[in-house]
């Protein structure tokens, strides 16, 4: 194992100095960036994982990556153009296009702008501003353990509140839902399991440890890497896969948020890749453009390695047993204990770090991540890109 990791570190160093591709075995860190750059064809690793996890052919996977990249670039511009009539947007995998919802009072000029840009238009009753305001009011309510989370669903044009199936009749759940419905348009959905964080006790051969907890490196920043906040508190020391000292948690927030950053030194350095763990080739990261709802997304973690799925919701509040965490992105990707803090990526664009979820990579499940751009803004960090 030591030989394999040293080999990867040497190849990674060559990548930084000479522009080579990354190798296929894990190193001490991985990475992301802030703005998109010109990129070659889709990574072999991304394509392979999407074929496996999303049931796509190679041609379909490559076409979807290109379409999602276009949609991600288009979404912010059309959001601004729609103004107060904006009611949400998402990537439609069937059409390969961005869909933008507009309220009935949207002007003909706005509708023309959206269509002319290549997006589909759908009419929705409630504006995104109204739905976001309703969710913000729900965020201020004390949530019982029988409520697992809530988010704005742009496709359904409502705020969705998830309630554990076995707790529907609880008085505190009913009271919470009564208050939630008074905030605006709310739909209640029953779920079978509550999300949990994915930290794990110490086991060998993984990216980093703090105390007796194992987590996964997220994305490299200049001076260190970002990861999940529940993995360690500010000031906690961090050791690498070989037990050697990496650095220290410089900032950490959990609950409320689930993000942190760790300084890197003592012979360790940052590398602008997401690890493929030998399952797929390592993936270079060239930016951090936000993937719309409906986009594909893949995750790298030290336990279950590489898996893909789709973005299900943005800005969801998740009610963990330790407290509510806000502004998480929900995905259909599986994860397992020890994957916490690991990388979520769409194409070559960094998305966020693994927070928690339910299920596993044998039977399936859902996983949430903290968006990487939020972490960068919070700590004034710059993502390491290739």
What residues are annotated to the active site?
A: 230, 258, 340
The gap from C-alpha 317 to its chain's centroid, in whole angstroms, comes to 13
Packed helices 44-54 and 58-82: angle between N→C axes, nearest 10 degrees: 90
State which H helix or E strand residue 318 sits in.
Answer: strand 305-320
Half-sphere exposure of 204 (CA within 13 A, CB side): 3
Angle, CA 13 vertex, CA 8 and CA 16 arms, to 5°: 130
In contact, 266 and 386? CB cutoff 8 Å? no
Q: Specify whether the backbone of 266 is left (phi greater than 0), alpha (psi in -120 to 50) or beta.
A: left
β-bridge partners, 306: 300
Say how many C-beta atoms besides its own lie within 10 A of residue 34's C-beta: 18
Tally the C-alpha atoms within 13 A of residue 68's C-alpha that lie toward its C-beta. Answer: 25
Contact indicator for 318, 356 with CB cutoff of 8 Å: yes
* Contact of 382 with 221, CB cutoff 8 Å: yes
């Amino acid at each position: 194992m030591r030989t394999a990791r040293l080999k990867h570190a040497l190849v990674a160093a060559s990548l930084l100095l000479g522009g080579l591709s990354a190798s296929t075995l894990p190193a001490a860190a991985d990475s992301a960036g802030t703005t998109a750059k010109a990129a070659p064809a889709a990574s072999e690793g991304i394509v392979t994982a999407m074929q496996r996890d999303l049931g796509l052919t190679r041609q379909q996977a490559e076409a979807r990556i290109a379409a999602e990249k276009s949609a991600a670039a288009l979404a912010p511009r059309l959001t601004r153009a729609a103004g107060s009539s904006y009611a949400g947007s998402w990537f439609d995998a069937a059409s390969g296009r961005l869909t933008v919802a507009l309220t009935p009072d949207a002007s003909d000029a706005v509708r023309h702008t959206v269509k002319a840009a290549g997006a589909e238009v759908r009419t929705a009753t409630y504006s995104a501003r109204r739905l976001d305001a309703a969710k913000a009011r729900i965020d201020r309510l004390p949530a019982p353990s029988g409520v697992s989370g809530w988010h704005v669903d742009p496709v359904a044009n409502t705020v969705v509140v998830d309630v554990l199936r076995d707790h529907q009749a609880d008085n505190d759940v009913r009271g919470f839902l009564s208050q939630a419905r008074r905030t605006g348009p709310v739909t209640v959905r029953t779920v079978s399991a509550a999300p949990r964080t994915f930290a794990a006790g110490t086991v060998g051969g993984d990216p980093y440890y703090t105390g007796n907890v194992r987590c996964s490196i997220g994305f490299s920043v200049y001076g260190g890497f970002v990861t999940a906040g529940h993995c360690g508190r500010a000031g906690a020391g961090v050791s690498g896969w070989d037990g050697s000292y990496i650095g220290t948690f410089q900032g950490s927030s959990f609950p409320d948020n689930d993000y942190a950053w760790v300084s890197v030194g003592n012979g360790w350095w940052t590398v602008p890749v997401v690890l493929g763990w030998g399952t797929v080739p390592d993936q270079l990261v060239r930016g951090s453009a936000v993937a719309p709802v409906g986009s594909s997304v893949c995750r790298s973690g030290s336990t279950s390695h590489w898996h893909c799925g789709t973005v299900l919701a943005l800005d969801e509040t998740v009610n963990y047993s330790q407290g509510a965490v806000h502004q998480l992105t929900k995905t259909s990707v599986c994860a397992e204990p020890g994957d916490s803090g690991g990388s979520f990526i769409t194409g070559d664009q960094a998305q966020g770090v693994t927070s928690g979820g339910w299920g596993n990579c044998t039977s399936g499940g859902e996983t949430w991540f903290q968006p990487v751009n939020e972490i960068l803004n919070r700590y004034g960090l710059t993502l390491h890109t290739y």
